Amino acid sequence: MSIENHFLDTADVSISIVTLVLTILGLSGIGLVSAGVIMVTKMGDPVTWVFTTLTGLLSGILFPIEYLPSYLQVISYILPTTYALHALRMTLIQNASFAQILPQILVLILTAMITLPLGFYMFRWGFNKARRTGTLAEY
């Protein structure tokens, strides 16, 4: 049996897809906030820069968060990518069930419920402000 067939037999890909979709929704809200800020400031994007830097260093992408000092672990648990990576690793590597990753799924749902409305609001605010000032086509 090849590695690909073994992977498909053991991993529940549907749970991973649900996790991935929830992650995309939550991060899309952050992207919308960023777009709203860019339309107003007309300069580099501080929102995405801060989020990307924190995510790369603190969410378990480069190294396990258990190796971080406790004060940085607190920040790590605020980032949605920490939960997404944990859930994806559990489902794809450890063949975890939906019940086992339910805490991570709930955090991702909560993230999407917060960031998407906030993102739409900030995007609309930035769009309207740029339109009022006549700077919509600038950057």
Residue 134 confidence (pLDDT): 86
Q: What is the pLDDT of residue 12?
A: 77
| Confidence (pLDDT) at 6 | 52
Hey, what's the torsion of the CAs at 110, 123, 52, 79, to 10 degrees? -10
Tens digits of pLDDT across the chain (139 residues)? 455 555 555 567 889 999 999 999 999 999 999 999 888 888 777 778 888 888 889 999 888 999 999 999 999 999 999 999 999 999 998 899 999 999 999 999 999 999 999 999 999 999 999 999 888 777 6
> Distance between CA 139 and CA 134 in Å, rounded?
12
What are the φ/ψ torsions at residue 42 (nearest 5 degrees)?
A: 55, 35
